[in-house]
Structure 1
Amino acid sequence: MPAGRVIARRGPHPARGAACLRPLLSQTRTSQCANGRSASRIVFPTTPYLAEKTAERPSTLVRAVHNGSVIPGKVVPSHKCCYVSDDGAEHSHHEYQALVTESSQFDWIPASDGFLPTGAVQGGSCVTGEPLYIGRTYHEGTLTIGKIQPSHRCLYIPYGGEEHCYHDYEVLVCKTVNF
Structure 2
Amino acid sequence: MTYRMVTTRKGDIPLGTVCAGVNVNGEKVYIGRYSELVPRAHWNEKPLFVFGVITPSQGVLTYCDYYASEKELMLSTSEGYDVVLPGDNSTIFHWKSFEGYTEKDKSYFLEDVVLSDKIGRATKTYLPFAARVEASVIKESKVVGYYDKSKFPADFDGPLFGVGQAWYDEDADVQDRQIAVRSIKVHVPHDGKILEVYKFQFLCSTKVPELSYSTYPTINWVTVSDGHLPPNAIAAGVAPNGEVLYIGRGEHEYEIIPGYIVPSEKHLHICYGSDEHIYSGDYEALTIEDKDGFEWGVYFDGEVPVNSLVANDIIVNLYGTKEIYIGRTLTGSDISTAMTWQKVPINLPHGRVANTQLLGKIHPSHECLYVPWDGKEYVYQAYEVLILKRKPRSLQDICRHVIITATIGLYDKIDQLPLPVNLKEFCKVTAPCL
- 1:113 has 2:298 as partner: no
CA distance in 2, matches of 1:46, 1:175: 20
- Report the Cα offset of residue 176 of structure 1: 1.7
AA of the residue aligned to 2:389: K
Aligned ranges 1:70-89 → 2 under 5 Å: 70-89=256-275
The answer to which structure, 1 or 2, has the higher relative contact order (CA under 8 A, 6+ apart) is 1
CA distance in 1, matches of 2:255, 2:272: 9
Aligned ranges 1:160-171 → 2 under 5 Å: 160-171=374-385
Q: Give the corresponding residue for 2:365.
A: 151
CA distance in 2, matches of 1:47, 1:121: 16
Give CA deviations for 1:133-160 in whole Å, capped at 9, x if unaligned. 0100053421011100011010001011
* Partner secondary structure for residue 324 of structure 2: strand
AA of the residue aligned to 1:167: Q
- 1:95 has 2:291 as partner: no
- Report the Cα offset of residue 103 of structure 1: 2.9
- Report the Cα offset of residue 125 of structure 1: 4.9
- Which structure has the larger Rg over C-alpha atoms? 2
Aligned ranges 1:23-102 → 2 under 5 Å: 31=226, 44-53=229-238, 56-93=242-279, 94-101=281-288, 102=290
Q: Give the corresponding residue for 2:329.
A: 137
* Partner secondary structure for residue 51 of structure 1: strand
CA distance in 1, matches of 2:388, 2:370: 21
Residues 1:125 and 1:151: Cα distance change in structure 2 (over 3 Å): farther
Q: Structure 2, unaligned stretches of length 5 or more? A: 1-214, 337-352, 394-434
CA distance in 1, matches of 2:384, 2:221: 21
CA distance in 2, matches of 1:89, 1:64: 15
More helix by share: 2
Q: Identity over aligned residues, as a percent? A: 31
* Partner secondary structure for residue 151 of structure 1: helix
- Report the Cα offset of residue 80 of structure 1: 0.7
Residues 1:71 and 1:171: Cα distance change in structure 2 (over 3 Å): same
TM-score (norm 1): 0.74
- Report the Cα offset of residue 126 of structure 1: 7.1
Contact map agreement 1:154 1:166 (CA 8 A) in 2 = yes
- Report the Cα offset of residue 56 of structure 1: 2.1
* Partner secondary structure for residue 83 of structure 1: strand
AA of the residue aligned to 1:88: S
Q: Structure 1, unaligned stretches of length 5 or more? A: 10-29, 33-42
CA distance in 2, matches of 1:116, 1:47: 24
AA of the residue aligned to 2:230: P
CA distance in 2, matches of 1:178, 1:63: 29
Residues 1:151 and 1:47: Cα distance change in structure 2 (over 3 Å): same
The structure 1 segments of at least 4 consecutive aligned residues displaced by more than 4 Å after TM superposition are 125-129
CA distance in 1, matches of 2:391, 2:377: 33
**How many residue pairs get matched?**
149
CA distance in 1, matches of 2:232, 2:362: 25
More strand by share: 1
AA of the residue aligned to 2:226: S
CA distance in 2, matches of 1:97, 1:104: 21
* Partner secondary structure for residue 104 of structure 1: coil
TM-score (norm 2): 0.32
CA distance in 2, matches of 1:49, 1:59: 9
Aligned-residue Cα RMSD (Å) equals 2.2
Bigger drift between 45-54 and 107-116 goes to 45-54
